[in-house]
Amino acid sequence: MQPKKNPKADLSQNSSLYFVAGLAFILLVSWQAIEWKTYEKSMYGYEALNVEDDDDEDVPITEQIKTPPPPAPEVIEVVEDEEEVEETVIESTETDEEEIIEIVEVEEVEEDIDVPFAVIEDVPIFPGCERVKKSERRNCFQEKMNRHIRKNFRYPEIAQEMGIQGRVYVQFVIAKDGNITGVRMRGPDKNLEKEAARIIGKLPKMTPGKQRGRPVRVPFSIPITFRLN
């Protein structure tokens, strides 16, 4: 039997070439479709811009100021020096060495300052401590003060009956003239404070304390203890 098909007519002979060509065509069409751009058409092909003529400004007409001509030079007349001119003598304001110089003395104003008993240079002198050495006058003052308190001490009867006892803190100032001023008390009872003020009021006049050789006010404080046996 003879075959029906012609062996030369083989359709699959160039199939790979046709496949590559078709694939390239499809990629070209896809790329053109992606890159395709459309634009909206405007109603008018151009836009008109109206510009008003606002830039034209009226320039005011100014008059040119004419400068006046310079004045004519003055004629200087030469006058012969016939009259004598008096010379002005200026006296010197410097003083001579022989002049007397006035010395103005400035008076120093004394200020009322308080110097505590613990730091003052010269402590106040209690009567009876005049002959004591300067270095021992502080101890002598305190000893004389304690003797004075023990000598004049009296326990208030009202405080004894009520059983009141405690410590009264007394503060006073030895003035620049040696007198006792500014007595203040702080204690548990008014009767005890009153007795403490009476004891301090009996202190004698003292020699005032000195700072740098000048009398000053010296505050002093001492506790007075009231205790029932």
132-151 pLDDT, tens digit each = 999 999 999 999 999 999 99
Residues of the chain scoring pLDDT < 70:
1-14, 37-111
Q: Which of 169, 208, 220 is nearest to 192 (CA)?
A: 169
pLDDT value, residue 174: 95
pTM of the model: 0.51
Q: Which of 91, 109, 89, 115 is nearest to 175 (CA)?
A: 115
Q: Which of 144, 215, 148, 211 is nearest to 178 (CA)?
A: 215
41-54 pLDDT, tens digit each = 555 444 444 545 55
List the domains of the chain with CATH numbers: 134-226 (3.30.1150.10)
pLDDT value, residue 16: 79
Here the tokens at position 202 are 């009996």
Written as one letter, the residue type at 195 is: E
Distances 184 to 17, 60, 174, 203, 220 between C-alpha atoms, Å: 130, 95, 13, 15, 11
Distance CA 139, CA 218 (A): 16
pLDDT value, residue 51: 47
Which residue's entry shows tokens 């634009």? 39
